[in-house]
Structure 1
Amino acid sequence: MTRQLSFDLPARPALGRDDFMVAPSNAIAVAMIENWQGWAGGKLALTGPPGAGKTHLAHVWAAAADARIVPARDLAGADIPSLAQTCVAVEDVPAIKGDIAAQTALFHLHNLVLSEGRSLLLTGSGAVPHWPLDLPDLVSRIAAAPTAALDPPDDALLCAVLAKLFADRQLTPKPDVIPYLARRMVRSFAAAGDLVAALDSASLARQRPVTRALAAQVLDNGPTGAR
């Protein structure tokens, strides 16, 4: 019996390098992650829209660099000197808007990591100059980091992302479902995640496989909508 006709199990995202689909929209960012030892100043800012793969690439990099990953909003309570003994990936830097304690901690982490000769990866949505940070010294240091951007998906990448999201949930849609979704859905990584989650829930609730008919119902009635 397939997963979609069984239990509502949590999705288990595959975050290895082989699970990340390379396309023109992300090839430069992937190359910079893979060549992390050559980062200017030992740091990199990885940007892109929600669901673009920033967390996935952070895990790829952490595995290669033996780095720790920490959400930016957790920095205020972190042991910064201990954290700085390894390479570090700080996720979702814009989330600490207005949080002076977390921003101060990130400032000290930045300085300590680099002074120890280690590397620092920073992730966030939107262009780095628009990250809502308040400390001028922190802003200037992050602005000095080289930037790699994950752009919105082209058709091939969107189909690949949908296939991965279905696989993460142990779902096997009918062959015509993914091309149909890619033609009609809102073209973003976040929308792809929401849409696959909605299809998962719908197939479980109705005890039906993921078919084009079910996809049409979810697109017409669900929160993601058609474009």
Structure 2
Amino acid sequence: MMAQQLSFDLPAHTALGREDFFVSPANSQAVAAISAPHWPGNKLVLSGPAGSGKTHLAHVWAAQTGGRIVAATALTPEAVPTLAQGPVAIEDVPEIAGDAQAQDALFHLHNLALAEGRALLLTGRGAPRFWGLTLPDLTSRIEGANHAALSAPDDALLGAVLAKLFDDRQLSPGPEVITYLVRRLERSFDAAARAVARLDRAALAERRGITRSLAAAVVEGMAPAPEQRHD
């Protein structure tokens, strides 16, 4: 009972600086695109699976340019004139696939920002043609933008992401834990985030450190066995 009472689900502090982003072949193209001083047409689409680093890179870009970051679902027609006065990143664009008003606002922001010579960054999962947007003029403009994709992580990147997720929660497991998780987890950032959250909760509940044996107990059933992933 005491262990249960001491188990608090505290929020993790997420570090979003450039120095916190690990570059590997899985994301080097996107990092180079974000770091470029100018984009063709002054716009860039950044895509990738959940947890792949889109938000992190958007924050890096915003820090470099003084840009603002707005969730697509929070975009309103009234905000467009102000947002168009500076660099702006609109995150998770596919989330407004069923929102005609938000799509219309994004269309006007796109046109006004580019007319003002401001950079526009758009993020979402998968290639833009799969975003499900229903406003044809907006769809054609987004699909015509320069596109940088974040890929599924390789071993080095997955290990670095796991280390960062643990560090964000002020946890310091041994390297053998990271190695075990890299070999056992599904090759995705979402799986890494879920595993770290589960391990954090389990360690708090059991009042113990994060060891390889705890990792084995927690992630069992989360991912295919190594022989299924390493063929």
TM-score by length of 1: 0.93
- Judge conservation of contact 1:45–1:122 (CA < 8 Å) in 2: yes
- Residue deviations 1:35-61 (CA, integer Å, cap 9, x gap): 1x3200000000000000000000000
CA distance in 1, matches of 2:124, 2:78: 20
- Judge conservation of contact 1:20–1:56 (CA < 8 Å) in 2: yes
Amino acid at match of 1:59: H
Q: CA deviation at 1:130?
A: 1.1
CA distance in 2, matches of 1:77, 1:10: 33
Amino acid at match of 1:67: G
Q: Does residue 99 of structure 2 align to residue 99 of structure 1?
A: yes
Amino acid at match of 1:28: Q
Give the aligned partner of residue 121 of structure 1.
121
Residue range with higher mean Cα deviation, 166-175 or 51-60: 166-175
Q: CA deviation at 1:144?
A: 1.2
CA distance in 2, matches of 1:225, 1:218: 11
- Judge conservation of contact 2:34–2:57 (CA < 8 Å) in 1: yes
Q: CA deviation at 1:211?
A: 0.3
- Judge conservation of contact 2:7–2:205 (CA < 8 Å) in 1: no
Gaps of 5+ in 1: none
Q: Secondary structure at the match of 1:148?
A: strand
Q: CA deviation at 1:215?
A: 0.2
Give the aligned partner of residue 112 of structure 1.
112
- Residue deviations 1:91-117 (CA, integer Å, cap 9, x gap): 000000110000000000101111111
Q: Does residue 202 of structure 2 align to residue 198 of structure 1?
A: no
Amino acid at match of 2:145: A
Q: CA deviation at 1:161?
A: 0.5
Q: Secondary structure at the match of 1:187?
A: coil
Give the aligned partner of residue 33 of structure 1.
34
CA distance in 1, matches of 2:193, 2:78: 30
Give the aligned partner of residue 54 of structure 1.
54
Give the aligned partner of residue 138 of structure 1.
138
CA distance in 1, matches of 2:99, 2:124: 16
Q: Secondary structure at the match of 1:171?
A: coil
CA distance in 2, matches of 1:78, 1:98: 19
Gaps of 5+ in 2: 1-5, 226-231
Give the aligned partner of residue 90 of structure 2.
90
**1:162-177 maps to which residues of 2 (within 5 A)?**
162-177=162-177
CA distance in 2, matches of 1:149, 1:78: 31
Question: Alignment RMSD, CA only?
Answer: 1.4
CA distance in 1, matches of 2:211, 2:69: 38
- Residue deviations 1:179-215 (CA, integer Å, cap 9, x gap): 0010011110110001100100100111011000100
Q: Secondary structure at the match of 1:108?
A: helix
- Judge conservation of contact 2:7–2:201 (CA < 8 Å) in 1: no
- Residue deviations 1:128-166 (CA, integer Å, cap 9, x gap): 111110001001111110000000000011101000000
- Judge conservation of contact 2:50–2:189 (CA < 8 Å) in 1: yes
Give the aligned partner of residue 148 of structure 1.
148
- Judge conservation of contact 2:47–2:125 (CA < 8 Å) in 1: yes
Give the aligned partner of residue 69 of structure 1.
69
Give the aligned partner of residue 229 of structure 2.
none
Q: Secondary structure at the match of 2:123?
A: strand
| % identity of equivalent residues | 61
Amino acid at match of 2:130: H
TM-score by length of 2: 0.92
Q: CA deviation at 1:174?
A: 2.2
Give the aligned partner of residue 20 of structure 2.
19
- Judge conservation of contact 1:219–1:226 (CA < 8 Å) in 2: no
